[in-house]
């Protein structure tokens, strides 16, 4: 006979204690990790346990979005594991510090910031940065190893849940092919990441690229690699750069900050936890920060 462990079915009543803890207003605990965006928190309740994809064309702010989400969680004492596939961690920390302190990223990269300002920023945001664990991973990283690191981060913080961020999905899959086709590797990886989320009872946020033909369109079919992505993910958000209208008077009067920003539409196109929709935000490339409700319509 096979020694392989056989699956066991459980009656629905076996889960009632857990359901009561989730649903009842008088039970403490974290139901979801705040996203850092009011729109997404209202639509989904935050990053709930599951796999959340954020996709967009190059230059739409995917990594800035991920750092925004990491900082929003860390400021609330929620541990974050940020997995950068072949990324330079020093630059990630520099960008994170600049967005938190409102410092100019390019000036920081060029070594042009006043020393006192850098010291003050490091001290002021040390507690937030201490809750974000960074891992520079090779594409051969196994999800099982990631699971162990994420569990350690959660246990060391005494938190009930954490946030895992993968930057980004297709780079990881491209360097870790066990199958002959790229789509098979993407499907295997996304399924494993969703299993990881359930195992940790925590959200996993993964950045994704779009197919070249559909860049700039919030289409689920544009997720690069396989159609399995749109079915496996619990939510899919697209970052779409919005061209400025010819008539600026349709919006509030342009100011200096708006001129130095990118207008981004957050398009929530899949949401297992509620409604879909979109919201215009502003990305400030100088600091890497996002501002919500940046272009309210007048009249």
Q: Which domain holds residue 208?
A: 43-240
For residues 68 and 289, the answer to whether their CB atoms sit within 8 Å is yes
Q: What is the pLDDT of residue 21?
A: 64
Q: Report d(CA 11, CA 280) in Å as an integer.
A: 45
pLDDT band per the 50, 70, 90 thresholds, residue 114: very high
Residues 6+ apart with CB under 8 A from 270: 220, 230, 233, 234, 235, 236, 276
* pLDDT of 2: 52
* 136 in a structural domain: yes
Stretch (H or E) spanning 83: strand 80-85
| 265 located within any domain | no
Q: What pLDDT was estimated at residue 245? A: 45
pTM: 0.86
CA 260 – CA 86 distance, rounded (Å): 30
262 part of a folded domain: no
pLDDT tens for each residue of 278-295: 999 999 999 999 998 644
pLDDT for the residue 185: 85
17 domain residue, yes or no: no
Chain segment 1-50, per-residue pLDDT in tens = 455 667 778 788 777 677 676 666 555 556 799 999 999 999 999 999 99
Residues 153-194 pLDDT 10s: 999 998 889 999 999 899 888 876 665 578 888 888 999 999
Above pLDDT 90, what percent of the chain?
64
Q: Is residue 194 one of the residues assigned to a domain?
A: yes
Flag whether 288 is in a domain. Answer: no
Average pLDDT for 201-228: 90
For the beta carbon of residue 275, count every other beta carbon within 10 angstroms: 9
Query: Domain containing 140 — which CATH number?
Result: 3.40.50.300
**Is 215 a member of any domain?**
yes
Q: What angle do CA 127, 133, 138 make, to 5 degrees?
A: 155
Which tokens hold the place of 234?
A: 């619990």
Summarize pLDDT for 40-84 with one digit per residue, the tens: 999 999 999 999 999 999 989 999 999 999 999 999 999 999 999
In a domain? residue 293: no
Number of domains in the chain: 1
Parallel, antiparallel, or unpaired for β 163-167 and 80-85?
A: parallel
Q: Please determine, for residue 115, whether its predicted confidence score (pLDDT) is greater than 80.
A: yes
What kind and span of H or E run contains 98? helix 89-101
Q: For residue 259, how many C-alpha atoms fall within 13 Å in the half-sphere facing its CB? A: 4
């Amino acid at each position: 006979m096979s020694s392989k462990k056989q699956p066991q079915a459980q009656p629905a009543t076996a889960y009632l204690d857990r359901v009561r803890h989730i649903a009842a207003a008088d039970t403490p605990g974290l139901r979801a990790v705040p996203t850092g965006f009011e729109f997404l928190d209202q639509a989904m309740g935050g990053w709930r346990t599951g796999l959340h994809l954020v996709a967009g064309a190059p230059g739409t702010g995917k990594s800035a979005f991920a750092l925004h989400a990491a900082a929003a969680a860390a400021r609330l004492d929620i541990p974050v594991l940020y997995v950068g596939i072949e990324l330079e961690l020093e630059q990630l920390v520099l960008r994170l510090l600049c967005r938190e302190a409102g410092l100019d990223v390019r000036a920081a990269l060029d070594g042009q910031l006043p020393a006192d300002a850098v010291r003050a920023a490091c001290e002021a945001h040390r507690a937030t940065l201490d809750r974000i664990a960074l891992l520079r991973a090779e594409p051969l990283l196994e999800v099982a190893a990631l699971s162990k690191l994420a569990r350690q981060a959660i246990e060391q913080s005494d938190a009930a849940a954490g946030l895992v961020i993968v930057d980004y999905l297709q780079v990881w899959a491209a360097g870790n092919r066990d199958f002959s086709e790229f789509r098979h590797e993407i499907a295997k990886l996304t399924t494993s990441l969703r299993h990881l989320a359930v195992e940790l009872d925590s959200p996993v946020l993964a950045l994704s690229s779009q197919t070249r033909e559909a860049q700039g369109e919030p289409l689920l079919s544009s997720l690069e690699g396989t159609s399995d992505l749109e079915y496996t993910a619990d939510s899919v958000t697209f970052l779409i750069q919005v061209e400025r209208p010819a008539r600026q008077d349709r919006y509030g009067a342009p100011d200096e900050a708006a001129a130095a920003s990118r207008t981004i539409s957050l398009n929530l196109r899949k949401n297992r936890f509620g409604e879909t929709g979109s919201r215009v935000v502003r990305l400030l490339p100088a600091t890497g920060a996002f501002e919500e409700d940046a272009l309210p319509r007048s009249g």
